[in-house]
Structure 1
């Protein structure tokens, strides 16, 4: 029997535990323990995980880990870190995780079935590793998953049919593995590009070059139920224990009430002056997934903004190459020191807008810095530069972009723009789509960058600006004449960018005058097509290593995108489907009928005007300049 004094001591002890070790801290520690278990199972030759200190209260201050406002882990980014070893089942405890990016390493073993517990996961990138075994059937539980890339591994067995239940899936790449059996032909797979399953010799069915005959050669692996989480060993609770627990809970609520009230007030309090907080006060403040860097941190990274680290210039300042303390390369965009009109608003717009737009083919903003004298944006460094630089400014030692890479760039850029137009709320228009603003990551995947000219747009209204911004040769005619931009303005710029990809030429090039050619790329392309000189359009750097049918289809898409009337241009979501082989032939046939009718009408007008001039001598003396 417990004495009254001992009951009181136990109740008081439990009260202290609950007050000073609240549920949020317990959960943070659980996530930290899971990540530390991962670290213990990985070999880290470059000390990328050096900051993963298990003695900290939670993992939110670790490099490569991003938390939300409730200190829950939402992103783990360990791409291209030279890690080896194996993943651990404890990753399934990160229930708020949205992005798990562990691509381009040397990690082996199997993919844990427990990843199917991460029901908030949006992106799972494990490509370019040494994973073996089957694709877990439990991944079909990830109802919010949009990006699944498991390519360039050694995975075997069949593709789980459960993956077809993920309606949100936008990108699926299982290429370059040892998968076998038949590709499931239902559900979301029908929307994906066929190349996603390439280089799996034993795979057959949709998206492969091998038709299936009869039943699949291999049976699906037996289902594996993930083990239930281990609970701490407990004992029976007597009535005395119940009384003590009740007293403890009541005391805990009494002590915790002020803290709960304060937390509620903090969450309700509007953060209107967020951007006026000096960076030095709290360098670890996060806005969504963004880190607030200190000025000192970025000064060290860029060698005090040395001129030797400048690799880009724009209307609002310079872009520096930098290396952070964790070894990762970044691009630091530094706004001009003088406060140009709209510069501060431009900065705030970029930060707010890019933090909302998260997509594989959009440049991800890592963080920002804002002090009374500085405005800086921090992006991942794109090692392969821009499409424009790869087409026209590459060193002699660098090979040109091959045709398959150009085709993949076209599709990736289209998907990024489609996301801006159709999946952001409110919509986002870029307003300066061109080859120089399509960046390439380490795998030459297209990443739409430079949102400096992007504007938010309401669902019903276009945005009328007082000054037209953009680049001559890429800008839609209605935008130049009226200043009114819409998503169809981006479609026009995308069409010109496609022509840049195909021809390797600039959208506006005075050098073409030397050959009596059109200065504008679009007009030059149309003239060569009229003369049926398709071979003259293709970039000579390709050295005839391209598919003529592919070139024709991309030119067709480009011409559909660059029609004079914005109403006639397709939406970017339609462009994505056409690039994937759905609906281009029908759309092109309709366009040709309209174009032929228009040309016949123009020729008829021309013939009539010649007849009138030849038959009416008085018309030769007509003055068009008005009275003198």
Structure 2
């Protein structure tokens, strides 16, 4: 009886001590359930949204932080229709609201202005109508706002110019009207952001507003009437000439002053990228930097500013004149065909692929002797450096951060494969090429080896490039790369995240272990030594079931036959908890059958072939 009494007291103590947590979870669950009831869901995407559960963090397509607060809702391309609900404004910690490519209609709730932590609002390719809410101007952390391809009407709110963090803005293909606000903020965006809004005008759109001062002609000069009397003709001519000269000087002075100012002001050159049909691609204008600008920014490419180096050149940390930090990639000076093609490929391709999990190209510089690319500076370096080369004062990556990196990088690669036309193949996916911004958001970088691919095609190249341990076996043996070669590299990168180990490490030989990370992991799994797989830096602060799930995804991605590997879009869904169990069971059945077949390598072969047909070899071109 006494134990029951103490249990009752403890229950009420928890309830009273943490009322905010319970209320918060209830409010967020109620808000999302209201959204579900207001939407038509023919594909049962929202089937797991069970209103009887207090905490929505177990629902598919919902991501929570360590405090069980909803930070992400991913419902893009889900076939949903209906309308949004004002209760979405109660998700105070929400950072990403992804509702693109659906049939959602009605107005955009003004309550979304209460989501003060929102980083991305993607509502494009829907049927929203009505005005853009003024309240969106309160979202000071907003970096991505895409409302294109809807039926929005009315003016663009002036309040949006207060959102200084905005990096990507797309309001195209709507029915907006009026003058585009121009206080300097919107001048950062290309006219493509506002196209197909027939009633918009202003300098940013390229369509002058009626009666704008720059387009108003000066009033015509009317000469004075002739003066009669002796010498009147000469007096009249003198007066008329004086007035004409004065008028000419009056109207010429502004033009002369403007020409002098333009000559003194350093010019900025921009490289226009041709538009693509894919509405998910937001095309901006890449600034063409002068070589002098980048020399000043990097202290004349000082060695102390080197962030990294590779096969095509070095990367320097720099600070531009406006104070912003950048990473400047200086390609090797040799004018080799590969280097020239590398530069052109990166400029054209990176400018087309804009996604929060892809490294954004800010600009470039091209001279007879230099080829330079300018990127935003990634404050937390690469995943590889955080795993193995971090300074003593920096904390190791915790398990929730590693999970976010796995999901974010998969989304970036999925965008390259499925939303770019033609698709983009990275060809060197590894932990060193996954960068981390100031919030440890994963950004896929270094498209130096990527190729634009036509659908259903692969690219055959005589120069196999990549990094040892990450190269897919079919790429080594045939020179053919496809999106499945990226999937293989991603799977190895997942194993790096889990173990903290290098993909290829001769140091493991000291313990009689495999130098290839994939073989080392498989060996420990056969011995059921899961605890030895996990990075010791985590100090057991991880969830066994989640580690097993990531390992399962990694092994599915690194299957020997490319057709057996999942697509990156499938990987994203599996990481979200959708379909992994079924795919893993199917893979295990196939593995049992394969292990019954005696696979022996050719006696003259230098390759090592294991029971899953994985080929291991040395790197052909060296790391970049």
Residues 1:502 and 1:155: Cα distance change in structure 2 (over 3 Å): closer
8 Å contact from structure 1 (residues 382, 439) kept in 2: yes
Contact residue 403 and residue 546 of structure 1 kept, 8 A: yes
Structure 1 residue aligned with 2:593: 597
Q: Is the 8 A contact 1:431 1:454 kept in 2?
A: yes
How far apart are the structure 1 equivalents of 2:88 and 2:396? 44
Is 1:364 the equivalent of 2:357? no
Secondary structure in 2 matching 1:342 = helix
Matched, 1:305 2:301: yes
Residue 528 of structure 1 and its aligned partner are, at CA, apart by: 0.7
Alignment of 1:12-27 (within 5 A): none
- What is the alpha-carbon distance in structure 2 between the residues aligned to residue 408 and residue 584 of structure 1? 17
Which of 564, 567, 573 is 2:563 aligned to?
A: 567
CA RMSD of aligned residues (A): 4.2
> 1:305 Cα shift?
1.1
- The 3-state SS of whatever aligns with 2:448 is helix
Are 2:465 and 1:479 aligned?
A: no
Kept in 2, the 8 Å contact 1:430–1:455? The answer is yes
> Aligned residue for 2:287?
291
Cα drift, residue 286 of structure 1: 4.9
Cα distance 1:285–1:473, how it changes in 2: closer, same or farther (>3 A)? closer
In the TM superposition, 1:64-75 aligns within 5 A as: none
Residue 193 (1) aligns with residue 179 (2)? no
Once the 2 structures are TM-superposed, how far is the Cα of residue 336 of structure 1 from its aligned partner? 1.2
What secondary structure does 2:317 align onto?
strand
Asked whether the 8 Å contact 1:164–1:184 carries over to 2, the reply is no
**Which residue of structure 2 lines up, in the alignment, with residue 588 of structure 1?**
584
1:383 to 379, 386, 390: 379
For 1:434, the equivalent position in structure 2 comes to 430
Asked if structure 2 preserves the Cα contact closer than 8 Å seen for 1:416 and 1:447, the reply is yes
Matches within 5 A, 1:194-209: 194-195=63-64, 199-200=68-69
CA distance in 1, matches of 2:86, 2:39: 23
Shift of 1:184: 13
- Equivalent residue for 1:44? none
1:198-237 equivalences in 2 (<5 Å): 199-200=68-69
> What is the alpha-carbon distance in structure 2 between the residues aligned to residue 296 and residue 437 of structure 1?
28
1:219 to 1:289, Cα distance in 2 relative to 1, 3 A = closer
Partner residue in 1 for 2:319 = 323
Q: Note the C-alpha offset of 1:510.
A: 0.5
Which consecutive residues of structure 2, in runs of 5 or more, have no partner in the other structure?
Answer: 1-23, 42-50, 76-84, 91-106, 111-130, 135-153, 158-176, 179-209, 218-265, 274-283, 602-624
1:452 aligned counterpart, secondary structure:
coil
Shift in Å at residue 348 of structure 1? 0.7
Pair 1:500-2:499 in alignment: no
The answer on whether the counterparts of 1:561 and 1:569 sit within 8 Å (CA) in structure 2 is yes
Q: How does 1:459-538 map to 2 (within 5 A)?
A: 459-538=455-534
| Distance in 1 between residues matched to 2:296 and 2:310, nearest whole Å | 23
Which residue in the other structure is 1:424 paired with?
A: 420
Query: Deviations along 1:327-381, whole A, 9 cap, x unmatched?
Result: 1100000111221232111101100000000111000001111112211100000
Q: CA deviation at 1:294?
A: 1.4
CA distance in 1, matches of 2:38, 2:351: 30
Instruction: Tell me if structure 1 keeps the 8 A contact 2:268–2:287.
Output: no
Of the three residues 345, 349, 361, the one matched with 1:349 is 345
User: Quick one: which of 541, 544, 557 aligns to 2:540?
Assistant: 544
Map 1:143-222 onto structure 2 (within 5 A): 158=31, 161=35, 192-195=61-64, 199-200=68-69
Q: SS of 2:308's equivalent?
A: strand
* In 2, Cα distance between equivalents of 1:166 and 1:382: 41
Deviation at 1:293, TM superposition (A): 1.2
In 2, are the aligned partners of 1:181 and 1:218 still within 8 Å (CA)? Answer: no
- Asked whether the 8 Å contact 2:453–2:459 carries over to 1, the reply is yes
Distance apart, 1:283 and its partner CA: 2.9
Distance 1:354 1:508 in 2: 29
> In 2, are the aligned partners of 1:390 and 1:401 still within 8 Å (CA)?
yes
Report the TM-score, using the length of structure 2 for normalisation: 0.56
Q: Is the 8 A contact 2:35 2:88 kept in 1?
A: no
Q: How many residues align?
A: 387
- Relative to structure 1, is the Cα distance of residues 568 and 294 closer, same or farther in structure 2, using a 3 angstrom cutoff? same
CA contact 2:55–2:68 (8 Å) conserved in 1: no
Secondary structure class of the residue paired with 1:330: strand
Residue-by-residue CA offset, 1:501-542 (whole Å, 9 max, x unaligned) = 011000000011111111100001111111111111111111
Cα shift at 1:306: 1.2
TM-score, length basis structure 1: 0.56
